[in-house]
Amino acid sequence: MNVLSVVGNRPQFIKSAPLSVALRAAGIEEVVLHTGQHYDRELSQVFFDELSLGEPAYRLEARTRDVEAMVPGITAALEETRPDWTLVYGDTNSTLAGARAATAAGVPVAHVEAGLRSGDLSMPEEHNRIEVDRIAALLLCPDERSAATLRAEGVQGRIEVVGDVMADACLAFAPLARKRSTILQRLDLAPGGYVVATLHRDANVVQPRLGRLVEGLGRIEEPVVFPAHPRTAAAVRSEGLTLGHVLLSLPLSYLDLAALASQARVIVTDSGGLQKEAYWYGVPCVTARPSTEWLDTVELGANVLVDDDPDLLVEAVREARMPDDLPQLYGDGHASERVAAALLASLATS
C-alpha cells in the first residue's frame, strides 16, 4: 500500500512526524507533498530539520492559502504516484485542496482529525472541515464526540475513532524540547513565571479585534512572550499597536515553542492545536475565540473562552488554574498506529 500525505503548515508537519514512523512500521509507503502554504523557514523547514522528517517528494512552493492555486500541483503528484490513499490533516486550505484534488483524480481520501466542529461558520476552517468530511472515504476521529457528530451529519465514509496524532507528537517531543531548548535561559524566564500568547486566525489579525487582544495582553502583570506569525506581526506594526511589556518575537522553532509553552503558567491562544497541547502539558489555556472545536477542555475547566474581550482575557489569565484529576483526552499516544491499521484494514474490505 502507498499513500500521498498532503501537508502545508506547522500543525501538519508536527502531526505527520509520528504518523510517518507508524506508516513505515506497518509497511505502508508514504510520499509527502508540501504545498508551501507555510513557507517562512520558522513555520516550515525548521520542523523538517528538528523533527527529522523525510524530505518531501513534492514541494509546490505555493506561497499562498489559495485552494485553487494548490490543486493543480497536487493533482499532478497524484497522477504520477497513483496512491491507494490521499492522507489529509485537520482543517487548513492545504487539507481542502488535497481532498478536492484527490476526488477529481479518483483517489480515496483519509481525513486525520475528522469530525471536529466549533459551530462557528464565520471561520474558514469550519467550512473546510465540513467539506473534507463529506468527501473523505475514511474519517479518522480523535474522540467519540467527533464520531457522533459525523454520524449525525450522515457522512458516507467509514468512521474510526483513533485518538489524536498530535498527542503522539506531544508525548514524544515535549520532554525532548525541554531538554534541548535554551529558550527560557535566552529570555531570562523562570518556569511557571510567564504567559505565552499566539494569535493567527484571520478574524484576530485585523481591527478592531487585534487591538482589543493586544490591549488585554499588555495588561497582564506577568511577562508575556508573543511569538508572532509573520502576518500577525505585520498587522501589529501597520496598525501602530502598543505592546508595552509584551515581548513580540519572531516565530519560534517547534522545540523552542514546545519548551516555552509546556513551562508557562498560562497559554493565551487562538490555535486549535495549542489548546490541546496546553491540556497535555498541564498548563491552563485562555482562548481568544468565541467558540472552540475542543469543547471537552472548556467543559473540564482547563480552557476558558474570552473572545476578544480584554477585560475577560486579563481576568481569565489572573484566575487560571488547572483543575485536579483531569481525565486523559484525545488519545493515549498510539493514534498513529491506529491510523496505519485503519488504512491497512481498507485492503481487506476493498
Give residue 11's pLDDT. 82
Q: Is the per-residue pLDDT at 76 higher than 60? A: yes
Spatial contact of 114 and 90, defined as CB atoms under 8 Å apart: no
Q: Which three cell numbers stand for residue 118?
A: 466549533
How does pLDDT run across 277-302, given as a tens digit for each residue? 999 999 999 999 999 999 999 999 99
CATH 3.40.50.300 fits 2-164+331-349, yes or no: no
How much is the pLDDT for 305? 98
Break the chain into its structural domains and give their ranges: 2-164+331-349, 169-319
**Which of the residues 111, 200, 245, 334 is marked catalytic?**
200
State the pLDDT confidence band at 98, using cuts at 50, 70 and 90. Answer: very high
Kindly state the cell numbers that stand for 196. 505565552
Confidence of residue 348 (pLDDT cuts 50, 70, 90): low
- Which residues, including other chains, have CB under 8 Å from residue 94's CB and lie 6 or more apart? 6, 7, 8, 9, 12, 35, 37, 70, 88
pLDDT at 54: 63
pLDDT at position 250? 87
The pLDDT confidence band at residue 207, using thresholds 50, 70 and 90, is: very high
In the chain, at which residue ranges do the beta strands (DSSP E only) sit? 2-7, 29-34, 58-59, 85-89, 109-112, 138-141, 158-161, 195-198, 224-227, 247-249, 266-269, 285-287, 303-305
User: pLDDT per residue over 171-198, tens digit each?
Assistant: 888 898 899 999 999 999 999 999 999 9
pLDDT band at 55 (very low <50, low <70, confident <90, very high): confident
Provide the percentage of residues in the chain whose pLDDT is more than 70. 94
Would you say the CATH fold of 169-319 matches that of 2-164+331-349?
A: yes
pLDDT tens digits along 225-234: 999 988 899 9
pTM above 0.85, yes or no: yes
Tell me: the pLDDT tens digits for 110-161? 999 999 999 999 999 999 999 999 999 999 999 999 999 999 999 999 999 9
- Pick from 7, 15, 33, 200: which is nearest to 94 by CA? 7
**CATH superfamily of domain region 169-319:** Glycogen Phosphorylase B; (3.40.50.2000)
Does residue 334 carry a catalytic annotation? no
Q: What is the pLDDT of residue 48?
A: 54
The pLDDT assigned to 52 comes to 56
pLDDT at 63: 74
pLDDT at 74: 97
